[in-house]
């Protein structure tokens, strides 16, 4: 697993289904996050608060979230129990207001959330079961809003790893920690996600990106047996690339599901 030192995480061993997951841990995490948001302190400058939240998040149990601890050993059982079908990703909302969004993303095997940004946001994520490939970039220079299609914007790959249930929670910030990320489920999996402030179109949009494609060079294609040129190779960790805006394919779909766990308030 590659991990860049700038990608903030809490060094914690496995926490899924832990005995510390009393019914109050989920609420404690939420209450602490909400209080920090209201104080205006949930950003990269408040290391103590962020680390405290990462620690709390790592101790939330699957039971509190209405999930089965057996899903850690058998993610395909998780897919069955969560009724994950096709390539559709399921989002289960736990809480949402004008300051934050808290929910569960559940992925069938092979499903992808394309590379997307989180403008001005802080996002905490924890993989609960299964395996998820996470690739994350930060802008070299923040592009001006609104971001237009067609032009490339320089970004650096700061994180590229497969995370598992034993991995520490992750956090990204407006200008660091991998503000743009792509998720690809290597097995069925679920991610607990707290995001602040929420997306709020049209001022705070979710924009999707891809590596800027090089110009089509047909002689190369012919020499390769007539196939169309393939996309650019994935960059190495630390490499700076050009990203361009794109529309996700029709196959990318996130459907809503009913959250089965304990409520928070
Ligand atoms: Fe995201």
The helix, strand and coil proportions of the chain, stated in percent and rounded to the nearest 5, come to: 15, 30, 50
Position 4 in a domain: no
Structure-token pair, residue 264:
């928070």
Position 13 in a domain: no
Cα-to-centroid distance, 221 and ligand 1 (Å): 35
Cα-to-centroid distance, 163 and ligand 1 (Å): 15
Position 151 in a domain: yes
- Identify the CATH number of the domain in which residue 39 sits: 2.60.120.10
Cα-to-centroid distance, 160 and ligand 1 (Å): 15
Cα-to-centroid distance, 106 and ligand 1 (Å): 13
The CA-CA-CA angle for residues 99, 189, 87, to 5°, reads 95
* Domain membership of residue 150 as a residue range: 23-254
What's the total number of domains in the chain?
1
Position 30 in a domain: yes
Position 145 in a domain: yes
Cα-to-centroid distance, 262 and ligand 1 (Å): 23
Position 264 in a domain: no
Residue 141: Cβ within 10 Å count: 8
Cα-to-centroid distance, 117 and ligand 1 (Å): 7
Cα-to-centroid distance, 181 and ligand 1 (Å): 6
Cα-to-centroid distance, 83 and ligand 1 (Å): 22
Cα-to-centroid distance, 225 and ligand 1 (Å): 38
DSSP 59-103: T--TTTTT--THHHH-HHHHHHHTT--TT-EEEEEEEE-SS-EEE
Position 265 in a domain: no
pLDDT in tens, the chain (265 residues): 333 333 344 333 333 333 344 459 999 999 999 999 999 878 898 899 999 999 999 999 999 999 999 999 999 988 989 988 888 999 999 999 999 999 999 999 999 999 999 999 999 999 999 999 999 999 998 887 666 666 788 999 999 999 999 999 999 999 999 999 999 999 999 999 999 999 998 888 899 999 986 655 554 444 444 444 455 677 899 999 999 998 998 889 999 999 999 999 9
Cα-to-centroid distance, 116 and ligand 1 (Å): 6
Please give the helix or strand (H or E) that residue 31 lies within, else none: helix 23-39
């Amino acid at each position: 697993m590659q991990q860049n030192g700038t990608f903030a995480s809490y060094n914690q061993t496995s926490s899924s289904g832990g005995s510390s997951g009393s019914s109050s841990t989920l609420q404690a995490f939420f209450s602490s996050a909400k209080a920090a948001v209201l104080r205006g302190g949930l950003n990269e400058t408040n290391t103590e608060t962020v680390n405290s939240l990462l620690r709390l998040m790592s101790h939330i149990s699957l039971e509190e979230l209405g999930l089965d601890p057996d899903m850690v050993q058998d993610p395909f059982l998780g897919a069955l129990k969560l009724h994950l079908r096709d390539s559709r990703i399921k989002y289960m909302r736990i809480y949402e207001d004008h300051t934050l969004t808290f929910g569960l993303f559940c992925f069938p095997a092979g499903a992808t959330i394309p590379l997307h940004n989180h403008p001005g946001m802080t996002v905490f994520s924890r993989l609960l079961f299964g395996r998820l490939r996470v690739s994350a970039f930060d802008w070299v220079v923040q592009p001006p809003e609104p971001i237009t299609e067609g032009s490339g914007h320089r970004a650096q790959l700061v994180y590229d790893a497969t995370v598992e249930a034993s991995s520490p929670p992750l956090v990204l910030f407006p200008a660091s920690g991998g503000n743009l990320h792509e998720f690809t489920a290597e097995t069925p999996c679920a991610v607990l996600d707290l995001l602040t402030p929420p997306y709020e179109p049209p001022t705070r949009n979710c924009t999707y990106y891809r590596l800027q494609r090089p110009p089509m060079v047909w002689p190369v294609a012919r020499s390769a047996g007539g196939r169309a040129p393939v996309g650019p190779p994935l960059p190495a960790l630390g490499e700076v690339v050009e990203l361009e805006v794109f529309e996700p394919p029709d196959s990318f779909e996130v459907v809503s599901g009913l959250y089965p766990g304990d409520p928070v308030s």
